[in-house]
Every structure is written in C-alpha cells, then in structure tokens.
Amino acid sequence: MSELREALATFDSDPGVGAMVLTGSEKAFAAGADIAEMQPLTFQSCYSQQFLGNWDAISRITKPVIAAVNGYALGGGCEVAMVCDIIYAGEKAQFGQPEIALGTLPGGGGHSETHQSHREEPRHGDDRHRREDVGSRGTLARTNQQGLPTESLVDEAIQLGERISGFSKIAVAMCKEAVNAAEQLPLNEGLKYEKKLFYSSFATDDRREGMTAFLEKRTPQWADC
Ligand SMILES: CCCCCCC/C=C/C(=O)SCCNC(=O)CCNC(=O)[C@H](O)C(C)(C)COP(=O)(O)OP(=O)(O)OC[C@H]1O[C@@H](n2cnc3c(N)ncnc32)[C@H](O)[C@@H]1OP(=O)(O)O
C-alpha cells in the first residue's frame, strides 16, 4: 500500500498523466491484506499505530483511477477496487469480503455502499445485497439475478442461515453492526465506525484463531468471543 500510494501520488502530480489503471495478475487483482502480517496484531497495535491509517489514500487522488480486475478481488483487495472511480471486471473476476471467515470484518469500506460497484443503486435503497456480500465471494453475474424460484426460496434462505451460523458469532455481530451503521451514518462517519470495529475485532479470540487457522490451512474452531 505504501508503494501504491507513492506511485499514485507521483502520477497524480504529473501533468502528462490523465488517468491511471490499477491492475493485478490474471489470478488475482489482490487477495486482500497480508494475513501473515495481520495474524500477530492486537487491538492495541492496530489502534495506536493506525494500522489502516493510509489505506484511504486512493480516494484522495484527483485523477480518475480505473481498476482492471481479473481473478480475485477479496477483502482489502475488493475495497481497493471499490474505492477506484471505475471498475472494469474481467469475466473471471470474483469480488468478495471474506474477512468473517478469519474472525474479523471488512475495515476499509466494505460495509458502506459508497463505491463504484454500488453507485448505480440508491444509497438508502435495498441493502440486502450488501448484507449478503459481507462474507461472500461471487461473480458480478449475481447482481443481475432477479429472484429465486418459489419452490427453493425457503431452502436457499435456510442454507444462507446455516452458512452464517458457521462463522464466529462475535464477528457476525460486528459485521451486522457495521452494516447497520453504514446505513444510518454519513459516509465518512460510517467508514470511521467500521475501522474502529475492525480494530476491535483484534481484541477477540476468534480473530486470532481465524487468521491462525487460515495460515495453518485448517478449519477455525470458533469460541464466539
Ligand atoms: C482501501 C482500504 C483497504 C483496507 C483494508 C482493510 C483490511 C483488510 C483485511 C483483509 O484483506 S483480510 C484478507 C481477506 N482475504 C482473504 O481472506 C483471502 C484469503 N485467500 C484465499 O481465500 C485464497 O488464498 C484464494 C485467494 C481464494 C486463492 O486460493 P487458491 O486455492 O488458489 O490458493 P491458496 O493456496 O489458498 O493461496 C496461495 C498462497 O497465497 C497465500 N495467500 C492467499 N491470500 C493471502 C492473504 N490475503 N494473505 C497472506 N497470504 C495469502 C496462501 O496462504 C498461499 O500461501 P502458500 O501456502 O503458498 O504459502
């Protein structure tokens, strides 16, 4: 992020540059913040060192930034794409906020309907997609779906409930709180609130367990605290 911030600032101040394209590899635009780097962090270190302090730098760039997304755009990677002005998504692009599987929650705007991918929808409109996006990974095609078949609707809802029940309950509660806050607060306040909740998740046992389990390639054992 430091390198990205410096590069964007350099291009932003170059009069010969009119717009910027930000991309990754064919496999991944970005798979998120480095879990190995975050695993040992605590609430105290996140808060006092402002772990995400400079991650909003892209939003302060004055020239248009276009995200060209192939493959995974997950967690902070999805948030980076969403904070760009325009997203060009490849046919294999997959966007998602899977942080809840790590016992934490999105911390860089994932809860707020502020970004390019949501700009076509009214901010205070239907937020059910956003609620489903948190913790999911899906293709853009889903946004074009119109409704579920009557006969499978309840089964699908139960399956979703079961999937949610498989996550850390404290992380789910924090996610829900952040989504609710994003709905009620002005954007800048919603982003601040989300960041504080994200830091707070580093005080939970489940956040450490979630990231440790990812790095050890095993299923997390949630303690719900
Ligand atoms: C603009 C503001 C931004 C604010 C940021 C706010 C804070 C952000 C938090 C986060 O981003 S939390 C992380 C969210 N991302 C994830 O949870 C994705 C985790 N990765 C995966 O689910 C999978 O790796 C994948 C991307 C779906 C790819 O799966 P695949 O089976 O193809 O490969 P793997 O064997 O799983 O991965 C290869 C290799 O890469 C390592 N790795 C993948 N993602 C990360 C990561 N985010 N951090 C650190 N390391 C990662 C993975 O462990 C493998 O390592 P090795 O086994 O090869 O050592």
What integer is the mean pLDDT of 137-160?
Answer: 68
What is the average pLDDT value for the chain, to the nearest integer?
86
Tell how far the Cα of 65 is from the centroid of ligand 1, in angstroms.
Answer: 24
pLDDT at residue number 136: 58
Q: How far apart are CA 209 and CA 215, in angstroms?
A: 10
Q: How confident is the model at residue 140 (pLDDT cuts 50, 70, 90)?
A: very low
Ranges of beta strands (E only) in 75-156 are 86-89, 94-96, 137-138
Q: List strands edge to edge, sheet with 65-69.
A: 20-23, 65-69, 86-89
Amino acid at 222: W
**pLDDT at residue 207 tops 90:** yes
Give the residue from 53, 139, 127, 136 showing the smallest Cα distance to 92.
139
Burial 166-175 (b: 16+ CB within 10 A, else e): ebbebbbebb
Residue 83 contacts by C-beta under 8 Å, 6 or more apart in sequence?
A: 56, 58, 59, 108, 109, 115
pLDDT at residue number 125: 39
What is the ipTM, given to two decimal places?
0.97
User: Global pTM?
Assistant: 0.82
Q: State if residue 83 touches ligand 1 by the CB under 6 angstroms criterion.
A: yes
Q: For residue range 32-66, list pLDDT tens digits in order.
A: 999 999 999 999 999 999 888 878 788 889 898 99
Residue 171 contacts by C-beta under 8 Å, 6 or more apart in sequence?
A: 99, 100, 103, 104, 105, 201, 204, 206, 207, 210
Q: How confident is the model at residue 119 (pLDDT cuts 50, 70, 90)?
A: very low
Q: State if residue 96 touches ligand 1 by the CB under 6 angstroms criterion.
A: no
Report the half-sphere exposure of 61 (CA within 13 A, side-chain side): 30
Q: What residue's CA is closest to ligand 1, atom 53?
A: 215
Tell how far the Cα of 178 is from the centroid of ligand 1, in angstroms.
Answer: 23
Phi, psi (5° rounding) for residue 74?
-120, 145
Phi, psi (5° rounding) for residue 42?
-120, 170
Q: State if residue 75 touches ligand 1 by the CB under 6 angstroms criterion.
A: yes
